[in-house]
Structure 1
Amino acid sequence: MSARRALVVRGGWAGHSPVEATDLFLPFLESHGFVVRVEESNEVYADEAVMEEVDLVVQSVTMSEISREASRGLRKAVERGTGLAGWHGGIADSYRNDADYLQLIGGQFATHPSKHPDRCGGDETDNFLPYTVDLTELGRGHEITAGIEDFTLDTEQYWVLHDDLIDVLATTTHPVQPYHPWHRPITSPAVWTRLWGAGRVFVATPGHSLEVLRDDSVRTIIERGMLWASRTESA
């Protein structure tokens, strides 16, 4: 059997350390039989010859922009069976102005609520909150999250806008606080999958920092998610 091919595309906002973050997972992919190609530009998506050979795309590109040709190329590849996987802003907060990409992913970062204003000091930790990632009933039996218990993190808690075509494996709930304007708790997907054409999409919202990515539960979910999404695993 020929080796599987993974394409790692990284870039965008430097605050998510896209190079260092993706480097954490390259040895895992290689140890599971992937030949890995790393690109620093999403324009590779527009290369149909390259994308036809890719079994898995791992993307870490926060915000940024994407050309019409690259966006179309990514969507076509997934529709043909290429898997797409990622975490945090590298997949759930990419290409905000591209509606087709947002539809492909099925969930989009809206905000990460902050601490009480009196506790904010003007740096990224203003948005670090202790919160729980709760496995859903589906998640407790899914191969990506089976055997993982609910776990807690102290980092950005993503509030995600989403549609009903995602299969939610884990959620997180934003509580009501007197210094925030909403009036009842809001539950957002924290880990989800999506079937798109012949392809599979995997998203995990934890992953703001290398420390979070090294958390045993987060790391395991991402590693399993990449394997699940891969074309060969999907076949």
Structure 2
Amino acid sequence: MGGSVQSGVPIKPVGDRAVPQGVGVARPKALVVRGGWEGHRPVEATELFIPFLEQNDYEVRVEESTEVYADAAEMARTDLVVQCVTMSEITAEELAGLRAAVEAGTGFTGWHGGIADSFRASSDYLHLVGGQFVTHPGKEPCERQGGQEDNYLPYTVTITELGREHPITAGVEDFELTTEQYWVLHDDLVDVLATTTHPTRPWHPWHRPVTCPAIWTRRWGAGKIVVTTPGHSLDVLAHPAVRAVITRGMSWATRTASES
């Protein structure tokens, strides 16, 4: 399992995409791209969110590799990309296709390593997303047993002032998780909706607390990007606040008819 979560007050599914009804209204097209490291269970994780897309009248296509990014015609038709590909590799043609699509208005979103730890060898991908996972600090060495749980620590996701007003995180209170706490490097083009702070501990080499983005958005050309760093395991993805942020992020990032 991926650690424990503390739910607090349930989060209503605010931010579900309002789908206009009527003749001639095109359904938004969502592309779910999954793969990479199996430890993040990309199939099971994305299956948690495909029903949300279908219930909100998205036309959903699922791909098990990034090859589709090189298909310019398909990417031009795509209003939202949901990516869950940890580590792995991407070709120059595929990355160019993804970047061009986002710049033209395709939304791009994901969670945890599926978007913040993808394609480590690609600086151009990092430039697109604006933040990169570098570590998740571990427990005291004497408590480690050699499994993923060695990196499960209790931490708080703190909503920023911007986040309290943003449609993705408005109404979401600060929440607690016990799971991997991502430390990310980032640039100033990200709009930070929530942060997390890594404290100083005797067995870690840093000497003061370090605050990192936990949830951020990024404008890239006409496109919108949303990164949510919690999401290591299925139980974390089921946490009411985490799920609300991810689904609202899908709705917010999706290209709308007025943006086409």
**TM-score, normalized by the shorter chain, greater than 0.5:** yes
2:35 pairs with one of 5, 11, 16? 11
The equivalent of 1:136 in structure 2 is: 160
CA RMSD of aligned residues (A): 0.8
The equivalent of 2:5 in structure 1 is: none
Residue 188 (structure 1) aligned with residue 190 (structure 2): no
**1:197 and 1:157, CA in 2 relative to 1: closer, same or farther beyond 3 A?**
same
Q: Which has the higher contact order (CA 8 A, sep 6+)?
A: 2
**1:113 and 1:26, CA in 2 relative to 1: closer, same or farther beyond 3 A?**
same
The equivalent of 2:4 in structure 1 is: none
Matches within 5 A, 1:18-97: 18-97=42-121
TM-score w.r.t. structure 2 length? 0.90
Instruction: Tell me the alpha carbon deviations over residues 121-175 of structure 1, each in whole angstroms, 9 at most, x when there is no partner.
Output: 0000000000000000000110000001000000000000000000000000000
Runs of 4+ residues over 3 Å off in structure 1: none
The equivalent of 1:103 in structure 2 is: 127
**1:222 and 1:187, CA in 2 relative to 1: closer, same or farther beyond 3 A?**
same
CA distance in 2 between partners of 1:75 and 1:145 (Å): 26
1:197 pairs with one of 208, 212, 221? 221
Shift of 1:40: 0.2
Shift of 1:33: 1.4
Instruction: Tell me the alpha carbon deviations over residues 33-80 of structure 1, each in whole angstroms, 9 at most, x when there is no partner.
Output: 100000001010000010010000000000000000000000000000
CA distance in 1 between partners of 2:104 and 2:239 (Å): 33
CA distance in 1 between partners of 2:180 and 2:123 (Å): 24
Shift of 1:232: 1.2
Matches within 5 A, 1:136-215: 136-215=160-239
In percent, how many aligned pairs have the same letter?
67
Q: Report the residue type matching 2:164 in the other structure.
A: R
Residue ranges of structure 1 left out of the alignment (5+ in a row): none
CA contact (8 A) 1:6 1:56 kept: yes
Residue ranges of structure 2 left out of the alignment (5+ in a row): 1-24
CA distance in 1 between partners of 2:164 and 2:76 (Å): 34
CA contact (8 A) 1:200 1:234 kept: no
CA distance in 2 between partners of 1:43 and 1:117 (Å): 41
Shift of 1:234: 7.6
CA distance in 2 between partners of 1:59 and 1:177 (Å): 34
**1:212 and 1:233, CA in 2 relative to 1: closer, same or farther beyond 3 A?**
farther
**1:27 and 1:189, CA in 2 relative to 1: closer, same or farther beyond 3 A?**
same
**1:200 and 1:132, CA in 2 relative to 1: closer, same or farther beyond 3 A?**
same
The equivalent of 2:11 in structure 1 is: none
**1:234 and 1:172, CA in 2 relative to 1: closer, same or farther beyond 3 A?**
farther
Residue 222 (structure 1) aligned with residue 246 (structure 2): yes
